[in-house]
Amino acid sequence: MKNNKRPLIFVSNDDGYYAKGLDTLIKVVSKYGDVIAVAPESARSGMSHAITIKEPLRIKKLRDEPGIKLYKCNGTPVDCVKLGLNKVVPRKPDIMVSGINHGSNASISVIYSGTMGAAIEACLNGVTSIGFSLLDHSPDADFTATAEYVEKVFKFVLEKGLPEYTTLNVNVPKIAPSEIKGMMVCRQTHGIWKEEFEKRTDPHNHDYFWLTGSFNNFEPNAKDTDEWALANNYVAIVPIKADFTAYHALEHISDLNTEL
Amino acid sequence: MKNNKRPLIFVSNDDGYYAKGLDTLIKVVSKYGDVIAVAPESARSGMSHAITIKEPLRIKKLRDEPGIKLYKCNGTPVDCVKLGLNKVVPRKPDIMVSGINHGSNASISVIYSGTMGAAIEACLNGVTSIGFSLLDHSPDADFTATAEYVEKVFKFVLEKGLPEYTTLNVNVPKIAPSEIKGMMVCRQTHGIWKEEFEKRTDPHNHDYFWLTGSFNNFEPNAKDTDEWALANNYVAIVPIKADFTAYHALEHISDLNTEL
């Protein structure tokens, strides 16, 4: 909105430049400004906040239409954001959106998520950002209802901003649009992924393992969490920050202080 | 200490199974119990909390001595922890240690760090854990002073434990042992890595970029931070948790609640 210009909107994801979720997100936000998207050249789910140190990064423009530019990059989602904000955009974007992820990033999934890694990286760089996810892993997922809520949250943040160095983790339940009850601001559920690992043996008689697992919700009855919101047909909105300090634990370990 | 058995100590890192920091860590902690280490087969710095979804994981035993077993794994640091805790250890370890990382993981580096990814993954699995780092990237770094403080912190945590789902991010300054003033419990400094990217052109006339950057400390005068501790010759100890919720921001976005 600065200088009466159209807002500059930076977009990324972790499912790759060709993902339906990214395409949906670009369609929604491009109504409100000029879009520059930099997305991974292949699916990079589970990449968290990983960066590429030992390989060079490459970037290639794939779309150049009025109001929409799309690039692919060989790096992680966070690399896409770093390279995009540093080498691609003509000025600091007014807002950044990540996703729409194919699959949930609620609860502890936020820590493994490349979609949220990208959103957090943008906000670390002082760009207001939002990560969006739909609880449907299918490449062909139906984003109709999600698009409606993406637009609502996007408009709110574009107008009102967010507290400094905060991003939003927005997850949409996989239900019919008419069943969604509304949006709920909540906190990250305390839970973990319990791994099982599927063991197989290759034709050369060597064992290998596939990562599998299931989500364990440690507080299924708490009603202020993202998992509760999603299970009860609400869009879950969690404000997220990148300060890992466990302030409540400072006292417990204070005996480690020496000679101060 | 359970059942008067020697403690079972799980070890991982992100610099690879051959790193001097891992070797130092194993030497220190193996005095206190039986060590099982699962470490990446190659350097995986900057891998954050990434997991491997689309490739199978493989693991191979490299050392099998009384009290010390060492395995290499083709996955990320977090994969090493998941696979190790699920398929390698005979029982739940009493404690997990990660590192010693060659290079700082203070301030926002915690979010990019594979060393801290591994430590956080262990604590998510209910295993008390600590991540250790020395502010020296050299493969041949001198870990003499670090080993002394690793032992102090390790003994404290082995005896007293940590609050549930909390890990420690311990960083040691790169100075002579005699110059270290002591240990300081502190919080994560608010700061970011500012990227610069070095642009080059390959022999086929295509551009590529190397990620480079420098750390920007947003609060250089705050005296309760890890960066202050390190700059003032203290070992910095930050308690870390995996709840990303920005509780202070819940109110700001409460207008997003609908129809509750």
C-alpha B184 chain-centroid distance: 18
Find the CB nearest B87 among A125, A152, A197.
A197
The stretch B223-251 carries a mean pLDDT of: 96
- Fold of the domain built from segment(s) B2-256: Stationary-phase Survival Protein Sure Homolog; Chain: A, (3.40.1210)
- Chains A, B: CB pairs < 8 Å: 243
Phi then psi for A206, rounded to 5 degrees? -105, 140
Extract the tokens encoding B246.
């920005």
Chosen for mutation from B211, B226, B233 (greatest number of chain A CBs closer than 10 Å) is: B211
Cβ within 8 Å, pair B195-A82: yes
pLDDT at A209 exceeding the cut of 60: yes
Chosen for mutation from A41, A42, A49 (greatest number of chain B CBs closer than 10 Å) is: A49
Angstrom distance (rounded) from CA B193 to CA B181: 27
Local structure of B224: helix, strand or coil:
coil
Cβ within 8 Å, pair B244-A50: no
Angstrom distance (rounded) from CA B113 to CA B213: 15
Which band of pLDDT confidence, cut at 50, 70 and 90, is reported for residue A254?
very high
Cβ within 8 Å, pair A256-B183: yes
> How much is the pLDDT for A1?
46
Angstrom distance (rounded) from CA B171 to CA B190: 16
Closest CA relative to residue A192, chosen from B123, B96, B195: B123
pLDDT at A141 exceeding the cut of 70: yes
Chosen for mutation from B172, B258, B259 (greatest number of chain A CBs closer than 10 Å) is: B258
What's the pTM?
0.95
pLDDT in tens, A143-157: 999 999 999 999 999
Higher pLDDT, A191 or A258: A191
> How much is the pLDDT for A78?
97
Q: Which residues of B touch A181 (CB under 8 A)?
A: 259
Tell me the average pLDDT of chain A.
95
Q: What is the 3-state secondary structure (H, E, C) of chain A?
A: CHHHCCCEEEEECCCCCCCHHHHHHHHHHCCCCEEEEEEECCCCCCCCCCCCCCCCECEEEEEEECCEEEEEECCCHHHHHHHHHHHHCCCCCCEEEEEEEECCCCCCHHHHCHHHHHHHHHHHCCCCEEEEEECCCCCCCCCHHHHHHHHHHHHHHHHHCCCCCEEEEEEECCCCHHHCCEEEECECCCEEEEECCEEEECCCCCEEEECCEEEEECCCCCCCEHHHHHHCCEEEEEEEECCCECHHHCCCCHHHCCCC
The stretch A174-195 carries a mean pLDDT of: 94
Beta bridge mates, B193: B215
Q: Which residues of B touch A45 (CB under 8 A)?
A: 53
The stretch B10-17 carries a mean pLDDT of: 97
Chosen for mutation from A137, A169, A244, A250 (greatest number of chain B CBs closer than 10 Å) is: A244
Q: Which residues of B touch A110 (CB under 8 A)?
A: 244
Q: Which residues of A touch B43 (CB under 8 A)?
A: 54
> How much is the pLDDT for A125?
96
Cβ within 8 Å, pair A53-B59: no
Q: Are A136 and A100 in contact (CB under 8 A)?
A: no
Nearest CA in chain B to A60: B207
Beta bridge mates, B185: B237
Q: Which residues of B touch A183 (CB under 8 A)?
A: 256-258
pLDDT at B244 exceeding the cut of 70: yes
pLDDT at B3 exceeding the cut of 60: no
Which element (helix H / strand E) includes B162? none
Q: Which residues of B touch A86 (CB under 8 A)?
A: 195-197
pLDDT in tens, B169-214: 999 999 998 999 999 999 999 999 998 899 999 999 999 999 998 9
Angstrom distance (rounded) from CA B188 to CA A244: 7
Q: What is the DSSP letter of B256?
A: G
* Whole-angstrom Cα Rg for chain A: 19
pLDDT at A3 exceeding the cut of 70: no
- Percent pLDDT > 70 in chain B is 98
> How much is the pLDDT for A14?
96
* Burial readout A206-244 (b: 16 or more C-beta within 10 A, e: otherwise): eebbebeeeeebeeeeeeebbbbbbeeebbbbbbbbbbb
A130 φ/ψ sector (left φ>0, alpha ψ -120 to 50, else beta): beta
Tell me the average pLDDT of chain B.
95
Which band of pLDDT confidence, cut at 50, 70 and 90, is reported for residue A4?
low
Q: Locate tokens 């099998």: which residue?
A: B64
With a threshold of 0.85, tell me whether the complex ipTM lies above it.
yes
pLDDT in tens, B79-134: 999 999 999 999 999 999 999 999 999 999 999 999 999 999 999 999 999 999 99
pLDDT at B16 exceeding the cut of 90: yes
Phi then psi for A15, rounded to 5 degrees? -90, -5
Flag the least confident range among A18-27, A206-215, B148-157.
A206-215
- Percent pLDDT > 90 in chain B is 94
Q: What is the DSSP letter of B225?
A: B
Smallest CA–CA distance, residue B193 to chain A, in Å, is: 9
Q: Which residues of B touch A238 (CB under 8 A)?
A: 244-245
pLDDT at B2 exceeding the cut of 70: no
Closest CA relative to residue A168, chosen from A96, A243, A238: A238
pLDDT in tens, A56-84: 999 999 999 999 999 999 999 999 999 99
Smallest CA–CA distance, residue A8 to chain B, in Å, is: 20
The stretch A210-226 carries a mean pLDDT of: 95
Highest average pLDDT, of A250-259, B68-77, B203-212, comes from B68-77
pLDDT at B1 exceeding the cut of 50: no
Cβ within 8 Å, pair B209-A56: yes
